[in-house]
A and B are shown apart, each in its own frame.
Chain A
């Protein structure tokens, strides 16, 4: 299964991004950062392929830094 996640510099940015997305009617799925990406405890946002572009531009416009990871 192909999966896409957005990781952030810190937890506060995850919360900020989640609130931003919710405000724009985009439902984000919060999951722990998968162990193959980081062994440290962290949360990230999983997106669906159809939402990825919209989320990307929304976060960029609002200056929330993120990294896209796919596997």
Chain B
């Protein structure tokens, strides 16, 4: 039985190592993966479950031993190891969408509006439940410009699974594409679809 030792390795390394060996197994053959990290254990279990490998784990003094069996038959969808990387401190994302229509929050004074919007984005990044998407159009695309505090918060949220969607027409209009530091430059079809499917849309 092939045994791989992933102790001390950070995700997605254990999953990539496991996948390489798993691909070489004969149907019905069992492999063993050793890990010393609880989050890695959970990631491995999810990963092997997706591969229909019926994983079993045992806790020993040297860590967790995960046993996985190559399925005898049946089609298994190819899986991407990195998609199974959950970090232990990941913040859950909700089903709500935050839609930013400007780099200013509210009307009345633009300096104040800019300050409020920065406060909003930076506070949003600290919420317990993050939105599934943040959509930026018109002046809001400027919030993703390099060197801004809002970009730092957008990157923090993107790293936790939030999709940052930037209106491509708007990025082009303001001619700031080289300065954009995060997010997916997208189009109105996708923006329309995300807004239509959202359970709740927040317009700050």
Binding site for B on A (CB under 8 A): 11, 14-15, 18, 27-32, 43, 46
Contacts and interface: CB of A to CB of B under 8 A. Distances in A.
Residue of B111, B112, B119 most packed against chain A (CB within 10 A)? B119
A32 B120 CA distance: 8
Contacts of B94: none
B149 A30 contact: yes
B152 interface: yes
Given A27-B147, A29-B149, A29-B152, A11 B119 contact: no
13 contacts: A11-B112, A11-B115, A18-B115, A27-B147, A27-B149, A28-B149, A29-B122, A30-B118, A30-B149, A31-B119, A31-B122, A43-B115, A43-B116
Interface in B111-136: 111-112, 115-116, 118-119, 122-123
A15 B118 contact: no
A32 B112 contact: no
Contacts of B118: 30, 43
Interface string B75-115: 00000000000000000000000000000000000011001
A31 B115 contact: no
A30 to B, nearest CB: 4
A31 B119 CA distance: 4
A43 B123 CA distance: 11
A11 B112 CA distance: 8
A31 B123 contact: yes
A62 B36 CA distance: 54
Given A27-B147, A29-B152, A31-B123, A15 B116 contact: no
Nearest to A16: B111
B123 A32 contact: yes
Contacts of B115: 11, 14-15, 18, 30, 43
A15 B122 CA distance: 16
A71 to B, nearest CB: 14
A43 B147 CA distance: 20
The listed residue with most B CB atoms (<10 A of its CB), out of A15, A18, A31, is A31
